Amino acid sequence: MSTRPYYIAGNWKMHKTRAEAAELAKTLAVQLKDGKHKYLVAPSFSSLETVGAIVKGTNILLGAQDVAAEEQGPHTGEVSVLQLKDLGVHTVILGHSERRHVYKEDDALINKKVKLALKHGFEVILCVGETIEEREAGQAEVVCESQIIWGLSGVSPGDLAKVTIAYEPVWAIGTGKTATPEDADAIHGYIRRVIGRLYGNDTAQKIIIQYGGSVKPENAAQLMAKENIDGALVGGAALKADTFVPIAKFG
Ligand code: PEP
């Protein structure tokens, strides 16, 4: 059982019209009102304003799923930190496996986004995780270590307080396969030791490390019971209150 505060975040990916997003946000605002943990929802850019108006003043924070690496300028199709700030966004999810593997974002680009988001006062959820080939080759730890070192390169100890790490094994995302609580906890512990080496043990003990990868109401409590698992980044199960609320109120 972690002694750190739990942080449960929902990544809605490219789902929901504004009306659908509004309906879910309204339900969550009511049903999580008495929730004891830190909560975030990250709708598509197109629903940020709508959802932001609903969660404003509640215990649910507003997140974006990505941000451009540049502040502004000729970047067709991108959305900037200035525009996200204008919409009241609190946190930016960066380095999600779909950004890394489908949209080919590399560690240098992700690091640029991390530093820009922190410079503009956002909190960041930095996602790391290995593919199935990397896991089978015994590379899970080194892959996560390298993504952490690169992703946090140039991030000051002060700014690290605004960073949450999400360990999301790529093979577990949207597949229905979940890492066992023991396997996930082992990698979380390893990540915490990497943070300890980079920023010192006190900081390592404080940093929140979420698990992501087919988290469901049925497995949330077992995952959260592990010493180094401090919350969840939830995809599929975040799309319905019926599945997200029990995760958010696990235990
Ligand atoms: C995610 O997209 O961050 C995720 C963990 O998805 P899912 O919960 O659907 O595996």
CA 13 to ligand 1 centroid distance, Å? 9
Nearest to 95 by CA among 77, 85, 107, 83: 107
45 located within any domain = yes
pLDDT surpassing 90 at residue 1? no
The contacts of residue 86 (CB under 8 Å, 6+ apart) are none
Q: What is 59-122 written as a DSSP string? A: SEEEEES---SSSSSS-TT---HHHHHHTT--EEEES-HIIIIIS---HHHHHHHHHHHHHTT-
| Residue 2 located in a structural domain | no
The pair of structure tokens assigned to 54 is 């609903």
- Does pLDDT of 17 surpass 90? yes
Tokens coding 122: 């956002």
Question: Is there a catalytic annotation at residue 141?
Answer: no
DSSP alpha helices (H): ranges in the chain?
18-31, 48-55, 81-86, 97, 107-119, 132-136, 140-151, 157-160, 181-199, 201-206, 217-224, 241-248
Residues of the chain with pLDDT > 90, as a percent, come to 96
Say whether pTM exceeds 0.95: yes
Is 213 near ligand 1, meaning CB less than 6 Å away? yes
Mean pLDDT across the stretch 33-51? 98
Taking residues 127-131, report their average pLDDT. Answer: 97
Q: How far is CA 133 from CA 115, 146, 168, 211, 221, in A?
A: 30, 16, 15, 20, 28
- For the chain, the average pLDDT equals 97
Task: Let me know if 227 is a catalytic residue.
Answer: no
pLDDT of 178: 83
Domain assignment present for residue 138? The answer is yes
Q: How confident is the model at residue 114 (pLDDT cuts 50, 70, 90)?
A: very high
Domain extent at residue 234 = 7-155+169-248
At 176 the pLDDT is: 85
| Band of pLDDT at residue 2, cut at 50, 70 and 90 | confident
Q: How far is residue 40's CA from residue 123's CA, in Å, rounded to a whole number?
A: 11
Whether 244 shows a pLDDT value over 90: the answer reads: yes
- Residue 14 lies inside a defined structural domain of this protein: yes
| CA nearest neighbour of 211 among 176, 251, 164 | 164
What is the tally of structural domains in the chain?
A: 1
Tell me the average pLDDT across 44-57: 98
Q: Does the residue 240 lie in any domain? A: yes
pLDDT for 7 equals: 98
pLDDT digits (tens, 9 = 90+) for 167-180: 999 999 888 888 89
Q: Residue 42: CB within 6 Å of ligand 1? A: no
pLDDT per residue as tens digits for the range 223-241: 999 999 999 999 999 999 9
Q: Is the Cβ–Cβ distance between 38 and 8 less than 8 Å?
A: yes
The verdict on residue 163 lying in a domain is no
Angle, alpha carbons 47-42-174 (nearest 5°): 115
Residue 160 lies in a domain: no
pLDDT digits (tens, 9 = 90+) for 69-94: 999 999 999 999 999 999 999 999 99
Predicted confidence (pLDDT) at residue 216 exceeds the cutoff of 80:
yes
CATH of the domain at 107: 3.20.20.70
Tokens of 51: 């959802």
Decide if 228 is inside a domain: yes
Of the residues 37, 96, 123, 130, only one is catalytic, namely 96
